Amino acid sequence: MTWIWILLAPLLGGLIYGGERVLRARMQRRQGPPLLQPFYDMFKLLDKRTLIIHAPHALLAVAHFLVLWFTIAAIFLGWNLLTIIFLHLFAQILLILAGYSVLSVYSHLGSNRELLMVVAYEPILIVVAVGFYLISGSFEISTILQGGGYWHQLPLLFVALLIIVPIKVKKSPFDVGEAHQEIVGGIEIEYSGVFYEFLYMSRFLEYIFIYSFVFLFGGESYWLGAVLVAGTFLVVNLVDNATARVHTADMLKIVYGVAMSLAIINLVGVLL
Amino acid sequence: MGIMLTLFLLPIIASVFTLLLPFERVHYFISASVLVILSASAFLLYSSPEIVTFQLSHIMNLLVVVADIILLLYFLYQGIKFKSGNVILLSVVQLLLYGYVESIAPIAGSAEIVVDNLSKFMFLIINGVGGIIVLYAVRYMRDEAVSATKKSLFIAGLLLFISIMNLIVCANSILLFFLLFEMTTLASYLLISFRNDPLSRANGLKALWMNQIGGVVILVAALVAIEGFGTVMFDTLLKSSGGMVLFTVALLAMSALVKGASLPFEGWLLGAMVAPTPVSAMLHSATMVKIAPYLILKLAPVLGATLLGNFFSVMGALVFVAASYLALSRFVFKEILGYSTVALLGLMMALAAIGTKESMTLAMVLMVFHALSKALLFLSAGVLEKQYHVKSIEEMKGLVHRAPKTVGFILFGFVSLTLPPFGLFMGKLLAITSISSLLRERPILLIVVLSLVIGSALLVLLYFKVASAILSSPCDIHPSEKEYLPYGFSIPLWLLTLYSIAVSLGFILLQKNLFIAWLALPLLVVILLPSMVTRMEQYDRIQPYHCGEKELFDAALVYYEPSIRVRQMIYWSFGMLFVAVAFIGVLS
C-alpha cells in the first residue's frame, strides 16, 4: 500500500498544487485554472520541442527529481527524519549545481538565491527534528507518529516551521527563488520541454515534503495532522496574497532572527 | 616494535637519501615507496591489538633536553634577527620556564612513549595522507623557481615532518610532547617562510609567536602537574584526581586551541597560505593541526561531563559557526579552505570534549574524512595554481571549460565534505543524534547542536558558492578543451578520492544499519551521471537567455563581510573565552 502511495506521490503533489491555484484564485475573486491544470501543463510540455544547453545541465534536473522522489519515499516509509532532511539537501544541491552549470546570469542568480534559501530553512528543519526527538525519544518518523503532544509542547517550534513553509513552496513574502518575472524564473529559465517537466514535478514533491513536517505535529492523531496541514495551507496562501516579497538578505534576517529565536526559546523551555 | 621503529626512522632515512640524490626520478621512487611502506605499517599496527610502551634511556632524555634548549635558542635568534618583539619575549619566557621545569622535573616515571589505540589511529591519518602529499610535492616542486638543493630540502623537510608527527601522537611525557610541539612550530615557521619574500617572512614569524603561546601554556601545565602530582606523564596525570587536574587539563586544552588555529589565533593559519601548497595541505589541514583534536581526545576521559568539558565543547562549537561565517568574506581559494579547516577543527574539538564514547568516535571519524577531503582540495588548489595560475575564486570563473578534471576533483571534495553518503556528512548526522540524546542531562549542549546545524548550513553556502564560480560553462556546441594533468598530480588526487570513497563505504557498512546503507543510493545517481553524458545528440542546442544583451555579463558571487566592529567583537569575545578556559579550569 505504501509503495502505491510512493508511486503516486508526484500525482498527489500535482493535485495539491492544482488545488492551491484554485484556492488562490478564489481568494482573489477570479475564475482561475481548473484543478487538473498541472497535468494539462504536463501534456503540453511533453509535446514541446526540447532545447538544451548542455547534457549535464539537463540531466541534473532529472537527478534532482529522482533524489527528491527518493526522499518522499523515505518519508512514506517512516525513516529517520535527519536522514530525510539531508537527502533533501542533496536533491537541492543537485538543482543548485544545475543552475550554476550554465553561463546564464539569471540561472546563476536563481541558484544563488536557492542556496541562500537552503541556508535559511535547513537549520530550522533540523531543529524541528530535534524538537520531535526530545518529546518522542526518536528521530524515526514511524515512532514520532505513534507519540502525541507535539502540538502543545512545541507551539513555538510550529510557528518557526510555519515561517519557513513559504520559502519551500515559493510563496510571498519569501518567494525570492523564482520571484515571478523579476529574475525570469531563476534556475528554471534554461529548461524546456521534457526537462522542464521534471523541474515542474519536483515542485509538486516539495509540497509533499514540507507539508509532511506540518503533518508530523499531529502525532498519533492523523485528524489533527490533517487539520494542521489544511490550516497551514490556508494561512500560507492568505499571507501570499497579502504580502510583498522581501529581499533575500531580509529573508535570512527574519528566519534567523525570528524563527530561530522562537525555536530556541521552545527547546530551552522543553529542556528546563 | 619493529613496525613502530619503521614509522619513526624510515622517513628520516628517506629524507637523508632525498638530500643525497637530488634527482626527480629518485624522489618519485623514494616518496612512492615511503608512502607504500608507511601506510602498510600503519595499517598493520592498527589491526594489532597490543599496546606498546617504551622508556627512554637517561642519555636519550638528556638529548631531549639539549634539543629543547637548542630549539628555543634558535627561536630567540630568529626573533632577534628579524626584530620581532613577540618572538623574543615568548622565547625568553619559554627558556626560563623550561629551565625551571626541567630542574624540578621528577627523574623516573612511567614510559615516555606509549602507543595506544588513539596513536595507532593517528598513524593511519598521518602516514596515509601525509605520504600522498609528499608524493605530490615532488611534481609540485618541479615548477617552483628555486635551486635544486632547496627543492630536495623541501621534500626532505616534509618527510622529517611525518616522523615528528608519528612521534608526537605517542608522547606520554608532557615535556617530550612540548619538544615535539615546538618542533612542529619550527616546521611551520620554516616551511611558511620557504619562499623568503617579505610577506612569507612576516607570516612565518606570526605563526611562530602564536604557536609559542601554545608552548608557554604547555610548560605552565607541566609546572602545575609537577607541583601538584609530581609527574609529567599524561597517563599518571589523567588517572589522578584532585583540584588541580582540571587546571592542568585546561592549560593543555588551551595549547590545542592555539595549534588548531581556533579563533582568535586563526591568523597564523591563514597567513600560512602563502607557503607552497603541499605545506598547506600537510601542516595546515591534513596532519599538523590535527594535533588539536588529538590532544582533546587524549584529555577527554577527564574533560567529559565536567564544567570545563561543557565549556570547552561550547567554545569549539562557537568557533565552528564563527569561522564558517568569517570565511564567507574571503575570495582566495586557499584562505577559504583554511577558514573551513579552522571551523571543522572547532567542531572536532567540541565533539571530543563532550567525552562520551560515541562523541569521541565521531570526532575521530570527522578527523579521517576531513584529512582526506581537505588534502584533496588543497592539492587541487595547488594544481590550479601551477597549471592555470589562478588563486582567487573570482579568476576561476568558467574553469570547468579549461580544466574539467581538476574541477571534477574539487567538486568531489566539496560533495564529500557536505553530502550523503560521505563520512563527514555521516559524522554530522550521527553527531546530531548523539548530542540530542544527551540534551536532557546536559542542556547546555543545545548550543553545540544549534552551532553544528547553523555552521553546517554556512559551510554548504561557502563550498557551493565556490562551485558556482568554477562550474559555469557555455553551450556545448564547442566541446571543452582536453586538460593535460600530469601523472605526478593526477595519481595523488586519484588516491585521495578512492581512499575517501572506500573509507566512506567501509564506515557505512560498519554501522550495521541497513537504513544507512540506503543512503549510498543517491551516490549512484552521481556516479552514473558522467556515463550518461552521451552528449544527448537527439536534443537541439540553444544559447542561454541574455535578455537581449550583446555583452556577456555574469552574476556576482555571494559575499558576507562583517563590519570591522563586528569582527573586532568576535575576536575579543573569543580571546576572552580562551582566557576563561584557564579560569574555569581553576574553578572546577
Is B429 in the A-facing interface, judged by CB distances under 8 Å?
A: yes
Is B108 in the A-facing interface, judged by CB distances under 8 Å?
A: no
Residue B137 belongs to a domain: yes
Task: Specify the range with the lowest mean pLDDT, choosing from A216-225, B90-99, B138-147, B335-344.
Answer: B138-147
The predicted-structure confidence for B397-433, as pLDDT tens digits, reads as follows 778 777 778 888 888 888 888 877 777 788 888 888 8
The predicted-structure confidence for A70-103, as pLDDT tens digits, reads as follows 889 889 888 888 888 988 988 898 898 888 888 8
Picking from B418, B429, B536, the nearest residue to A82 by CB comes out as B429
Distance CA(B240)–CA(B571), nearest Å, equals: 35
Three-state DSSP class for residue B555: coil
Picking from A82, A90, A104, the nearest residue to B522 by CB comes out as A90
Q: What percent of chain A has pLDDT over 90?
A: 19
The predicted-structure confidence for B398-408, as pLDDT tens digits, reads as follows 787 777 788 88
| Bridge pairing between strands A51-52 and B540-541 | parallel
Confidence of residue B511 (pLDDT cuts 50, 70, 90): confident
Partners of A79 on chain B (C-beta within 8 Å) are 515
Residue B415 belongs to a domain: no
- CB within 8 Å of chain A, chain B residues 431-490: 432-433, 436-437, 439-440, 443, 446, 449-450, 453-454, 457-458, 460-461, 464-465, 467-468, 471-476
Residue B42 belongs to a domain: yes
* Segments forming the whole domain that contains residue B121: 1-55+110-172
Picking from A103, A109, A267, the nearest residue to B544 by CB comes out as A103
C-alpha cell at B93: 619566557
Number of domains within chain B: 1
Picking from A53, A102, A123, the nearest residue to B457 by CB comes out as A123
The reported pLDDT for the residue numbered B451 is 92
Mutant choice from A75, A126, A252 vs B, greatest count of B C-beta within 10 A: A126
Distance CA(B526)–CA(A100), nearest Å, equals: 16
pLDDT at B345 over 80: yes
Distance from CA of A179 to the nearest CA of B (A): 16
Cβ contact A115–B418 (<8 Å): no
3-state secondary structure chain A: CHHHHHHHHHHHHHHHHHHHHHHHHHHCCCCCCCCCHHHHHHHHHHHCCCEECCHHHHHHHHHHHHHHHHHHHHHHCCCEHHHHHHHHHHHHHHHHHHHHCECCHHHHHHHHHHHHHHHHHHHHHHHHHHHHHHHHCCCEHHHHCCCCCHHHHCHHHHHHHHHHHHHHCCCCCCCCCCCCCCCCCHHHHHCCHHHHHHHHHHHHHHHHHHHHHHHHCCCCCHHHHHHHHHHHHHHHHHHHHHCCCCCHHHHHHHHHHHHHHHHHHHHHHHHC
pLDDT at B480 over 70: no
Please state the rounded mean pLDDT for residues B52-58. 79
Mutant choice from A102, A135, A256, A262 vs B, greatest count of B C-beta within 10 A: A102
Better-scored residue on pLDDT, B477 or B234: B234
Three-state DSSP class for residue B541: strand
pLDDT at A179 over 80: no
Is A80 in the B-facing interface, judged by CB distances under 8 Å?
A: yes
- Torsion A177-A180-A186-A189 (CA) sign: positive
The reported pLDDT for the residue numbered B553 is 67
For chain B, how many residues are written?
Answer: 588
Confidence of residue B170 (pLDDT cuts 50, 70, 90): confident
Residue B14 belongs to a domain: yes
Element (H, E) at B169: none
The reported pLDDT for the residue numbered B406 is 85
The reported pLDDT for the residue numbered B331 is 85
Distance from CA of A226 to the nearest CA of B (A): 28
Distance from CA of B475 to the nearest CA of A (A): 5
The Cα-based distances of B511 to A85, A127, B100, B468 in angstroms read 19, 24, 50, 34
Is A181 in the B-facing interface, judged by CB distances under 8 Å?
A: no
Cβ contact B544–A90 (<8 Å): no
Query: What is chain A's mean pLDDT, rounded?
Result: 87
The predicted-structure confidence for B214-227, as pLDDT tens digits, reads as follows 889 999 988 888 88
The reported pLDDT for the residue numbered A230 is 92
Partners of A82 on chain B (C-beta within 8 Å) are 429, 432-433
The reported pLDDT for the residue numbered A149 is 78
Distance CA(B141)–CA(B139), nearest Å, equals: 6
Q: What percent of chain B has pLDDT over 90?
A: 6
Residue B320 belongs to a domain: no
The predicted-structure confidence for B184-219, as pLDDT tens digits, reads as follows 888 888 888 888 888 888 888 888 888 888 889 999
Three-state DSSP class for residue B332: strand
Partners of B450 on chain A (C-beta within 8 Å) are 123, 127, 264
Cβ contact A55–B544 (<8 Å): no
The reported pLDDT for the residue numbered B200 is 86
Confidence of residue B478 (pLDDT cuts 50, 70, 90): low
Specify which of A13-22, A168-177, B54-63 reaches the highest per-range mean pLDDT: A13-22
N- to C-terminal Cα distance for chain A?
42
Domain definitions of chain A by residue range: 47-271
Identify whether B49 is preceded by a cis peptide bond (ω within 30 of 0). Answer: no
The reported pLDDT for the residue numbered B517 is 64
**Cα dihedral value B73, B78, B83, B87, nearest 10:** -60
Better-scored residue on pLDDT, B71 or B237: B71
Q: What percent of chain B has pLDDT over 70?
A: 92
Confidence of residue B108 (pLDDT cuts 50, 70, 90): low
Please state the rounded mean pLDDT for residues B470-478. 70
C-alpha cell at B89: 619575549
The reported pLDDT for the residue numbered B476 is 66
The reported pLDDT for the residue numbered B263 is 80
Are A149 and A218 in contact, with CB atoms under 8 Å apart? no
Q: What are phi and psi of B392, to 5 degrees?
A: -95, 150
Residue B91 is which amino acid? S
Cβ contact B460–A184 (<8 Å): no
Picking from A93, A109, A264, the nearest residue to B464 by CB comes out as A93
Q: What are phi and psi of A102, to 5 degrees?
A: -115, 155
C-alpha cell at A257: 532572527
pLDDT at A268 over 80: yes
Residue B17 belongs to a domain: yes
Distance CA(B573)–CA(A131), nearest Å, equals: 30
Is A66 in the B-facing interface, judged by CB distances under 8 Å?
A: yes
Distance CA(B225)–CA(B233), nearest Å, equals: 9
The nearest alpha carbon in chain B to A50 belongs to B539
Residue B10 belongs to a domain: yes
Residue A165 is which amino acid? V
The distance of Cα A166 from the centroid of its chain, to the nearest Å, equals: 8
The reported pLDDT for the residue numbered A210 is 92
Is A114 in the B-facing interface, judged by CB distances under 8 Å?
A: no
Cβ-based contacts under 8 A for chains A and B: 177
pLDDT at B531 over 60: no
Are B141 and B154 in contact, with CB atoms under 8 Å apart? yes
Nearest Cα to Cα of residue B434 among B369, B363, B504: B363
Mutant choice from A68, A100, A261 vs B, greatest count of B C-beta within 10 A: A100
Question: Which residues, 6 or more positions from A103, have their beta carbon under 8 angstroms from its beta carbon?
Answer: B398, B472, B473, B474, B475, B544, B552, B554
Distance CA(B225)–CA(B244), nearest Å, equals: 8
Distance CA(A51)–CA(B158), nearest Å, equals: 53
- CB within 8 Å of chain A, chain B residues 509-568: 515-516, 518-519, 521-522, 525-526, 529, 532-536, 539-547, 552-555, 557-558
Confidence of residue B479 (pLDDT cuts 50, 70, 90): low
Cβ contact B436–A49 (<8 Å): no
Distance CA(B495)–CA(B515), nearest Å, equals: 29
The Cα-based distances of B588 to B30, B241, B315 in angstroms read 51, 12, 17
Query: Is residue B12 classed exposed, middle or buried when 0-12, 13-18 and 19+ CB atoms within 10 A define those classes?
Result: middle
pTM: 0.90
Residue B391 belongs to a domain: no
Confidence of residue B23 (pLDDT cuts 50, 70, 90): confident
Cβ contact A106–B533 (<8 Å): no
Confidence of residue B561 (pLDDT cuts 50, 70, 90): confident
The predicted-structure confidence for B244-292, as pLDDT tens digits, reads as follows 788 888 888 888 888 888 888 888 888 888 888 888 888 877 888 898 9
